[in-house]
Amino acid sequence: MKQLMTATRMNCLLDCPRKHYWRYEVGLKRETDSAALRFGTAWHAAMEDRWQRRSYESALAKALATAQDFDEATVATLSGLLAGYYRRWQDDPVKELHPEVEFRHPLRGSRSFDCAGKIDGLGILHDGRLALVEHKTTGTDISPGSDYWIRLRANPQVLQYVIAAWSLGWDLHTVLYDVTRKPAIRVKKGESPEEYSERLAKDCEERPDFYFARREVPILQDDVESFHIQRVELAKLILNFRAAARKARRPEQAWPRHLTEMQCRLCDYASFCLQNIVPDPAQPPAGFRVGAQHPELNQAADPTQGETR
């Protein structure tokens, strides 16, 4: 049975091959996602309601339904930012949106992998053009002159989704990025969560371009062709590391580590990986579990769902 190549998996391998080993070869995953990932999931849920032209109250309820133990400050941040978003974008460029489109298709040039994932949205613009709609949250500068937009053009996730949309019959020529910047302001001493939420919503209204940006980025054939090559090479890397692991005394030794301060500080596995401690998959470390490789996909798309390794 073929393995799945998702955008998340590619990014994980590019971050650090050893991280990929723990996550996709062993199947080790934290029982609770990071705060940033949980916030992004909640925001995507809210955007699905927003782009279906539902109310702020409905979108906030949808977002909070996905929340895992959000504290009061995070709920206030989510509600204030979402209120600001609704005020900023009262007119949508999208006439019709098909949200959360799952896909799976053969990876061109590989006999071992299929491509799979879930597209944020496929949209029909008011002028009739078809567009890939991507929601992003970030803590970095999203002003027109920032390099954030240059990096997005070659984002593996977006290029994966473009090719998938083409395979589904969508003749896309543009990507509509809908980007929200997370707030830099925090709850003041003595300020209630409700007061902070209102202050954040007001700040969003006063500085909309700081928090929100929408931009169309054309799909360039050179970028797509480069990605086709790079994706196959990443698949080959996985197979090569896996083959070397079978010969190594300890399989994780065959997967190189990207030992930089930033990578290790943000890595789920740093606590034992940096100490050269090898966890037993049958008895995962506290806070971890072993399970499906791709929990973001349903069982039809991911044959490993529900299995343990």
The CATH number of whichever domain residue 81 belongs to comes to 3.90.320
- Three-class SS of residue 69? coil
State the DSSP H helix or E strand holding residue 84, giving kind and residue range, or none if neither. Answer: helix 72-88
Domain assignment present for residue 248? The answer is no
Domain assignment present for residue 209? The answer is yes
Q: What is the pLDDT of residue 274?
A: 94
Domain assignment present for residue 305? The answer is no
Beta-carbon contacts of residue 151 (< 8 Å; ≥ 6 apart) = none
Q: Supply the pTM of this predicted model.
A: 0.86
Domain assignment present for residue 282? The answer is no
What span, in angstroms and rounded, lies between the C-alpha atoms of 309 and 291? 7
- Under DSSP, the state recorded for 220 is P
What span, in angstroms and rounded, lies between the C-alpha atoms of 117 and 106? 12
Query: Which range of residues forms the domain containing residue 139?
Result: 35-225
Work out the mean pLDDT of the chain and round it to a whole number: 91
Domain assignment present for residue 5? The answer is no
**Stretch 163-183: mean pLDDT:** 95
Query: Of 7-16, 141-150, 241-250, which range is least confident?
Result: 141-150
Beta-carbon contacts of residue 178 (< 8 Å; ≥ 6 apart) = 47, 133, 134, 135, 136, 214
Query: Of 120-134, 236-250, 284-298, which range is least confident?
Result: 284-298
Cα 164 from chain centroid (whole Å) = 16
Q: Reply yes or no on whether the pLDDT at 8 is more than 60.
A: yes
Domain assignment present for residue 187? The answer is yes
Percent of the chain with pLDDT over 70: 96
The total domain count for the chain is: 1
- Three-class SS of residue 274? coil
Cα 48 from chain centroid (whole Å) = 15
Beta-carbon contacts of residue 274 (< 8 Å; ≥ 6 apart) = 259, 264
Q: Reply yes or no on whether the pLDDT at 38 is more than 50.
A: yes
Q: What pLDDT band is residue 145 in, cutting at 50, 70 and 90? A: confident
CA 254 → CA 3, 53, 146, 237, distances in Å? 20, 50, 38, 11
The label of the residue with tokens 């499906």 reads 292
The label of the residue with tokens 């699905």 reads 48
Q: What is the pLDDT of residue 168?
A: 95
Q: Reply yes or no on whether the pLDDT at 139 is more than 80.
A: yes
**Stretch 98-115: mean pLDDT:** 94
Is the separation of the CB atoms in 150 and 141 below 8 Å? Answer: no
Domain assignment present for residue 304? The answer is no
- Token digits of residue 220: 């360039």
Domain assignment present for residue 152? The answer is yes
